Amino acid sequence: MQTVHSVSQVREHVRSWRSKGLSVGFVPTMGNLHPGHISLVNEARRRCDVVVVSIFVNPTQFGPNEDFDNYPRTLDADAAALVDAEADLLFAPAVDEMYPLGSNQTWVDVDRLGDTLCGASREGHFRGVTTVVSKLFNIVQPDVAVFGEKDFQQLAILRRMTEELLFPIKIVGAPTLREDDGLALSSRNGYLSDSERAQAPQLQQTLQAIGQALQAGERDFRALEQRHTDSLNQQGFQVDYLTIANARSLALAAPGDTDLVVAVAAKLGRTRLIDNISVSIVRDQ
């Protein structure tokens, strides 16, 4: 595996691969890699001849009170993990390589899908995500790009962006990897204290309880959300949202919806955690 830091170097590698008729898979990350990330690399490897991984902590998707400066940067360890995963190219640009003119004046924004869930409390977050992913797609020009289903809203937004901007790229969602106790793998889990880490799996347990209630026929979505929000808050979480949504539109689930996502974001101490489950229910008669 080679590590490069410039757009021109990536394009040179991609041109060489294309001249040989090779297909290109792509996994964008912000680094501090864990087995969940490696599972995305493995999925890209199964689908394509060569795999590019990017590591870039993107400043435009962080709000003014978020953890950009403290976000863990572990490039050497990440590169070693990618060698083991048999990635072909690591693209690790500096901020001025991705934003060469300084403050951006050109943005990619997906209306409505980014207004709910995380988008409601993280203003500008998804605009930063879609803009930088568009840049990366333009640089790498992959056949396939793989993202984790843990970031359900992000995946939905990037799928819509790819379709509407006519990127010739297949977007693949890979299943969430979890610890044995159910906690979704995340780079931010390292921020948790020992006591917080022991408590964190309650998020997934709450989602499962809601899923079971929905399968059992409960249809008062807002009351179900409120009951479990109150329970999490009483246990020491600070719930940003706990929402039962239409899995396609991400709007609040309404009577007659059958394909649902139950999504949660909550702080535990100073750490913001997200998780979700998909639930299919039988249409009420």
Query: What residues form the annotated binding site?
Result: 30-37, 61, 148-151, 154, 177, 185-188
Contact of 184 with 178, CB cutoff 8 Å: yes
Return d(Cα 129, Cα 54) in angstroms, integer: 14
Cβ within 8 Å of residue 158, ≥6 positions away:
129, 130, 133, 145, 147, 171
37 labelled catalytic: yes
DSSP 8-state code for residue 143: S
Return d(Cα 116, Cα 249) in angstroms, integer: 10
User: What are phi and psi for residue 284, nearest 5 degrees?
Assistant: -65, 140
Neighbours of 20 (CB within 10 A): 8
The annotated binding site for beta-alanine is made up of 61
Please report the sign of the dihedral spanned by the C-alpha atoms of residue 28, residue 154, residue 205, residue 71: positive
Pairing of strands 89-91, 50-55: parallel
Exactly one of 5, 13, 37, 228 is catalytic; name it.
37
Cβ within 8 Å of residue 111, ≥6 positions away:
none
Q: Which strand ranges, in their side-by-side order, compose the sheet holding 271-280? A: 238-246, 259-268, 271-280
The annotated binding site for ATP is made up of 30-37, 148-151, 177, 185-188
The annotated binding site for (R)-pantoate is made up of 61, 154
Question: What is the helix (H) or strand (E) element at residue 202, kind and residue range?
Answer: helix 202-215
Contact of 247 with 220, CB cutoff 8 Å: no
User: Exposure of 279 by Cβ count < 10 A (0-12 exposed, 13-18 middle, 19+ buried)?
Assistant: buried
Catalytic residues: 37
